[in-house]
Structure 1
Amino acid sequence: MAKRLAVVPLLVATILSGLVVSAAPASAAPIGTTASCYSFGRTLSQGASGEDVRQLQIRVSGYPGYGGVLAIDGQFGAGTKAAVTRFQQAYGLGADGVAGPATFAKLSSLEDSDCTPVNFAYSELNRCNSTWSGGNVSAAQAKANALVTMWKLQAMRHALGDRPIQVNGGFRSVSCNNAVGGAPASRHLYGDAADLGAGVHGFCVLSRQARNHGFSEILGPGYPGHNDHVHVAARSGQLWSAPSCGM
């Protein structure tokens, strides 16, 4: 009986050996880490391009440096290298501006299965319309813009000692924006804005810190209608105004 059973592993091994030919080549496998919602399959450095570069740019968009904004275009240029370097420095990694296994592992640890950073959620950025529709861009674009905003906030949160940042709202449809008296061209209509409560930091701390994390629009205390929150967003051109905070 023992001899008969021994035949089974031999048959299985024979069958499996025939399947190896159809398996994916080793080079197609992730290089040491699989992010919660995205697998990086190669080391990324300056000169690279593609969807994997774009995914990396989303996740390091909060590290462009003071007053900077990182282009999310799938092209690994000097700006992306600098952002990757700052991210690596922020988390005590080897800071060479090259995204490899250690960088991807850290990004994975900061990410939930829906691609949002672990400390923020789509629900915080959309208290208006769960379908993300009705704004000034498509629902898909509004949601994509909100994702980038969350990664910027994640970087900002880490810089503030990993203490919570209170998010009171983000995307608005036109009808929601009108209902709250929002400006006709509000960035909330594009999904790339967030309104922050004072929380544990205070409005001026938030206003000043946001300057380092890719927000081209920062409106805080002293700016009309913003004494009870800090508004951060993306826009063409820079508008920073929080007079009560010396901005």
Structure 2
Amino acid sequence: MLRRLVRVLLTIVMVASAAVVGTVATAGTAQADGCYTWNRVLSQGSSGEDVRQLQIRVAGYPGYGAVLAIDGQYGPATAAAVTRFQQAYGLSADGVAGPQTVGKIYDLQDNDCTPIHFTYAEMNRCNSDWSGGAVNAATARSNALQQMWKLEALRHALGDRPLNTSSGFRSYSCNSAVGGAANSNHLYGRGIDLVGSPTFCQIVTQARNHGFNEILGPGYPGHNDHAHLGSMSSRFWSAPSCGI
């Protein structure tokens, strides 16, 4: 609570200072963050690691059926995702990642860079070191982080109702034990299974707006008892009982 109060106060000071000098576009991000700190305002034409870090946080706002590239290049698609993020949280929607936008991101993330409503632990109930899958442990963990930020966007769009994950990353042995597909996205840290409420149909229907191009749910073989979300090279949505 204290950490967030300090962030809010620093953001207010930063915005006020920018107004005095008459330029927000060149103001640095004065506040520090335990996970990642943005030190400049980002807009179309910007590039670099700070853009890539921003893209991870707004990857859940690409628009219907779209997937935002995490490439460190602030192009029109990133600007549009930032605009949707701003709209979702009642910010001035200009597609520019300035103090208010990064301040909201700071509010939404913990010191390990995960969004506040999801954890690495719940994304990996298989083995704690993220090894044994289709990619190395660092890549699997990085993929899971990107998926968590998409889940945070989905959760917010569903009225900030909790989402309950039942499976995330799996090693080959874990995947085999549960009868997972041989090429499952779970092996890459990109697959997520959800149970409980909201309903599976609510989840898979809304997920189409939040960067998931693999969506499986009721009516698809083996998916009547959970909703599956993931990312892959091409779109595959199937939940016939939900009209998808």
SS in 2 for 1:171: coil
User: Gaps spanning 5+ residues in structure 2: where?
Assistant: 1-26
Scaled by the length of structure 1, the TM-score of the pair is 0.87
Aligned residue in 1 for 2:163: 165
- Residues 126 and 171 of structure 1 are in contact (CA less than 8 Å); yes or no, is this contact kept in structure 2? yes
2:42 is aligned with 1:49: no
Stretches of 4+ moved more than 6 A in 1? none
Aligned residue in 1 for 2:179: 181
- Structure with higher Rg: it is 1
2:231 is aligned with 1:237: no
Aligned residue in 1 for 2:223: 226
Aligned residue in 1 for 2:94: 96
Cα distance in 1 between the residues matched to 2:31 and 2:42: 14
Q: How many residues align?
A: 218
Scaled by the length of structure 2, the TM-score of the pair is 0.88
Residues 31-78 of structure 1 deviation map (CA, whole Å, 9 limit, x = unaligned): 233333001000000011000000000000000000000000101111
Residues 146-172 of structure 1 deviation map (CA, whole Å, 9 limit, x = unaligned): 000000000000011111011111000
What letter is aligned with 2:240? Answer: P
SS in 2 for 1:212: coil
Matched ranges for 1:9-88 at <5 A: 31-88=29-86
- Which of 140, 143, 146 aligns to 2:144? It is 146
Residues 61-103 of structure 1 deviation map (CA, whole Å, 9 limit, x = unaligned): 0000000000001011111000000000000111000001100
What letter is aligned with 1:48? Answer: S
- Residues 33 and 101 of structure 1 are in contact (CA less than 8 Å); yes or no, is this contact kept in structure 2? no
Aligned residue in 2 for 1:213: 210
2:119 is aligned with 1:137: no
RMSD of the TM alignment (CA)?
1.0
Aligned residue in 2 for 1:119: 117
SS in 1 for 2:190: coil
Instruction: State the identity as a percent.
Output: 66
Offset of 1:30 from its aligned partner?
5.1
What letter is aligned with 2:217? Answer: G
Cα distance in 2 between the residues matched to 1:185 and 1:30: 44
